[in-house]
Amino acid sequence: METTLVAADGHTLSAYMAGNVHAKRALVIVQEIFGVNRHMRHVADTFASEGYRVICPALFDRVERGMQLGYGPEDVARGRALRGEIPEEKTLLDILAAAGELPAGVPRGIIGYCWGGTVAWHGATRSDEFQAAVGWYGGGIAAARHEAPKCPVQLHFGEVDASIPMRDVEAIRDARPEVEIYVYDGAGHGFGCEERASYVPADAKLAQRRSLEFLARHLQG
């Protein structure tokens, strides 16, 4: 279902919600640079089927409402341009608004993909709202690696990701030894998205299992 959120600065944005309202765990799911498109709704529904109440805020509403992109070169360029118009502090306000829409008193986590992986990192380091955070191929995490997470964090990277070199992953490891990091041999950026050419089903399945186990371990009432 669709809902409307109001961020602390008064901005209104849409969000996709799924899962039982009486779920014992809750999760903010953060989009790639392609909007809350069919893939992100599928991700949300998958976590909902695992017993989570989930919400996926439309971060692009800051600059263009209802934007949903595909995965062609022109979509990548458009998504990057939209992302570039939104300050980090505004995306943080939007994910906090999403967190506030989840059931009160229920352990709450955040998971993000691509741009959302970086936003999930910011949620872990720049707020106290989450008890666990997971990031899949977040390209901006290395630049923010000296920010200390306020909750347990798990990260997933592809070994041959053209936008996240292994030196960045190693820099994160060195700066944040407490963070659980997995690298998938031969995988590129977006290996977890079934609609992308870089999709690797076995790695996506393994990363999903690890994410679910990590979240279950840390999101306990």
Cβ-based neighbours of 211, under 8 Å, separated by 6 or more: 111, 134, 136, 154, 156
Maximum Cα–Cα distance for the chain, whole Å?
A: 44
Tokens of 63: 């600059």
Residue type, 69: L
Yes or no: say if 49 and 131 are a contact pair by the CB < 8 Å rule: no
Residues 14-43 have a mean pLDDT of: 97
Tokens of 19: 């899962």
CA 101 to CA 82: how far, in whole Å? Answer: 25
Q: What is the pLDDT of residues 29-44, one digit of tens each?
A: 999 999 999 999 999 9
CA 72 to CA 33: how far, in whole Å? Answer: 12
Query: DSSP 3-state assignment of 9?
Result: coil
Residues 210-214 have a mean pLDDT of: 98
Confidence of residue 221 (pLDDT cuts 50, 70, 90): low
CA 175 to CA 145: how far, in whole Å? Answer: 6
Q: What is the pLDDT of residues 101-131, one digit of tens each?
A: 999 999 999 999 999 999 999 999 999 999 9
CA distances from 74 to 36, 77, 117 (A): 17, 5, 22
Cβ-based neighbours of 6, under 8 Å, separated by 6 or more: 12, 97
Yes or no: say if 120 and 133 are a contact pair by the CB < 8 Å rule: yes
Confidence of residue 12 (pLDDT cuts 50, 70, 90): very high
CA 25 to CA 108: how far, in whole Å? Answer: 6
Residues 8-36 have a mean pLDDT of: 97
Q: Token pair 């979240």 is at which residue? A: 215
CA 100 to CA 5: how far, in whole Å? Answer: 9
Confidence of residue 159 (pLDDT cuts 50, 70, 90): very high
- Indicate whether 27 pLDDT > 70: yes
Structural domains in the chain, CATH included, are: 2-218 (3.40.50.1820)
Residues 133-157 have a mean pLDDT of: 98
Q: What is the pLDDT of residues 173-205, one digit of tens each?
A: 999 999 999 999 999 999 999 999 999 999 999
CA 17 to CA 142: how far, in whole Å? Answer: 30
Give me the active site residues, please.
114, 161, 189
Q: Token pair 């009432």 is at which residue? A: 221
Residue type, 12: T
Q: What is the pLDDT of residues 44-93, one digit of tens each?
A: 999 999 999 999 999 999 999 999 999 999 999 999 999 999 999 999 99
Q: What is the pLDDT of residues 149-158, one digit of tens each?
A: 999 999 999 9
Sequence length of the chain is 221
